[in-house]
Amino acid sequence: MKKNLIGIFLLFSSLSVFAQGIEFEHSSWSEVLKKAKELNKPIFIDVYTSWCGPCKVMAAEVFTRPEIGAKYNKGFVNFKIDAEKGEGIAIAQKYEVKSYPTYLFINPADESLFDRSKSSMPAASFNDLADKILTKFSGKKEISLAELEAKYKSDNYDEGFAQAYIKRLNAEGKSTREVLGKYLTKFVSNKPSTAQLYFLGLNFSNGTDLNLYRYMIDHYKMIDAVLCKNDGIAAGSLYRNLRTETGAKIESILSSNVLIAENGLQLKQLFQDLNTVEIEERKDKKVLEYKIRIYTGNGDTAQLLKAYRSYIQQFLLPADQTAAIGRESIILNKNAPVPVLPIDSATAADWCCNYAIRLTKLSKDPEDKQLAGRLFEKAMGLSNSAVIQNKRNVTTYNLGDQAKAIKQQAVLLAELRNSHAEYLDDVAATLQKMENNEPNISVFQYKRKLLKKH
């Protein structure tokens, strides 16, 4: 019985070792070099910082995977460094690390940089990266890209070759636009397999042909579900790429300045595409921002007012939207909760004021004035800076309540005189214009360096 227990213990111990992720060395750089030389293995260095979001995602979601651990523990001596602490500072400088995370692959024989990569990436891509480096380090001769291209052009190949060729192009930093589109046409039927959906989602990038783009949008929910089941980072990457691609198509139409009927239909479809991809918290937000630009350019006041009201009520006034005013968090892992940004009070307050000003310039309707008032109230709750107070006071003046505006501006001026604030002259000049009964007074904006400090 005792022997059986020992056997079971050893079995579970071996399984736990196999199931772990990358084993990083916890010694000095010189000791890592010594070990790598003795084992004749390349060194993998994960260069990170304590504040880097993508670094944390990779450490938690990719480095911990059993298949990644098996590949990297067998093939490399693995080392982690904080680029801002200890030996990490000198190593990051030596190998000219400029962004995080950066992955360095070092030849231990002479400490030369063998290869490098960067940024967060799906586990499958990180696994492929290891294969590329290990093949290169072993001195094995790969089939040349020219030979692969010749076979591709012959059109005499199977799906396995097509996938391998696309992965090779990605590894070499080459465009896969044409090849991935042809892969879709040649191998993906009306009932795609889960493996095919995963491959398409993993390899889709910006600048793809229209047929592939349309397919990815129309099948996005299916592909996203497959990616999320296997790798949330892959799903996050597809989300960002499709968003970017859709945005680029919209921008192309808007920059043409010719919103003819055909383009209007295209925009309607693209807005639907954007909301198809978008996570629930952000649906309609970008679409409304685009519509505001269109209606402003076309001088369509009725539609512009409608868009302003919707945007204000959905994305400016609600408390749970405050952190996202004027910015948004990056979705790296779709299996994780949407990152919560700290509230940038100055930016959020400024956006609220600017939308209130735009609204009151277009409409004197009492309900719109009330909506603008709620925006100013929120802005003042976020920041009582001179810029925000001045914007409120000028808007109050331009809406016809001159006595109230002058009184508020005089109070602001008195406060600034006591603190020798930088905006003293701007506030005083605005008050003088109010007292001179000048029409349609303009507001002044934040000086850039002060906006960054709030």
Whether residue 352 sits in one domain with residue 258: no
Whether residue 449 sits in one domain with residue 351: yes
Tokens, residue 209 = 């042909």
Question: What is the model's pLDDT at position 387?
Answer: 92
Tell me, yes or no, whether 322 lies in a domain: no
Amino acid at 66: P
Question: What is the model's pLDDT at position 420?
Answer: 65
Tell me, yes or no, whether 73 lies in a domain: yes
- pLDDT tens column, 254-265: 888 665 555 678
Q: How far apart are CA 65 and CA 117, in angstroms?
A: 19
Report the share of the chain in percent with pLDDT over 70.
Answer: 92
Q: How far apart are CA 199 and CA 193, in angstroms?
A: 10
What is the arithmetic mean of pLDDT over 60-77?
A: 96
Tell me, yes or no, whether 133 lies in a domain: no
Q: Which residues are bridge partners to 46 per DSSP?
A: 80, 103
Question: What is the model's pLDDT at position 367?
Answer: 95
Whether residue 353 sits in one domain with residue 449: yes
Tokens 């290869």 appear where?
Answer: 115
Question: What is the model's pLDDT at position 245?
Answer: 95
What is the arithmetic mean of pLDDT over 110-121?
A: 94
Amino acid at 222: M
Q: Is the pLDDT of residue 279 over 60?
A: yes
Tell me, yes or no, whether 325 lies in a domain: no
Q: Is the pLDDT of residue 2 over 50?
A: no
154-161 long-range contacts, Cβ below 8 Å, gap at least 24? 159/183, 159/186, 159/187
Tell me, yes or no, whether 44 lies in a domain: yes
Measured on CA atoms in the order 185, 188, 191, 194, is the torsion positive or negative? negative
Tell me, yes or no, whether 320 lies in a domain: no
Report the share of the chain in percent with pLDDT over 90.
Answer: 79
Tokens 């063998």 appear where?
Answer: 114
Domain boundary among 274, 296, 320: 274
Q: How far apart are CA 402 and CA 397, in angstroms?
A: 5
CATH number at residue 54: 3.40.30.10
Whether residue 181 sits in one domain with residue 111: no
What is the arithmetic mean of pLDDT over 362-380?
A: 94
The answer to whether the CB of 35 falls within 8 A of the CB of 29 is: no
Question: What is the model's pLDDT at position 259?
Answer: 57
Q: Pick from 334, 100, 338, 101: which is nearest to 233 by CA?
A: 334
Whether residue 111 sits in one domain with residue 193: no
Domain boundary among 122, 137, 154: 122
Question: What is the model's pLDDT at position 12?
Answer: 40
Tell me, yes or no, whether 78 lies in a domain: yes
- pLDDT tens column, 15-46: 444 458 999 999 999 999 999 999 999 999 99
Q: How far apart are CA 423 and CA 418, in angstroms?
A: 12
Q: Say how many domains are in the chain.
A: 3
Quote the pTM value.
0.86
CA 39 from centre of chain: 39
Whether residue 268 sits in one domain with residue 182: yes
Domain boundary among 99, 122, 145: 122
Q: 90 lies in which domain range? A: 17-122
Whether residue 118 sits in one domain with residue 197: no
Q: How far apart are CA 319 and CA 154, in angstroms?
A: 59
Q: How far apart are CA 117 and CA 438, in angstroms?
A: 60
Tell me, yes or no, whether 112 lies in a domain: yes
Whether residue 118 sits in one domain with residue 26: yes
For the chain, the C-alpha Rg in angstroms (whole number) is 29
DSSP string, 116-132: EEES---HHHHHHHHHH
- pLDDT tens column, 171-206: 888 888 889 999 999 999 989 999 999 999 999 987
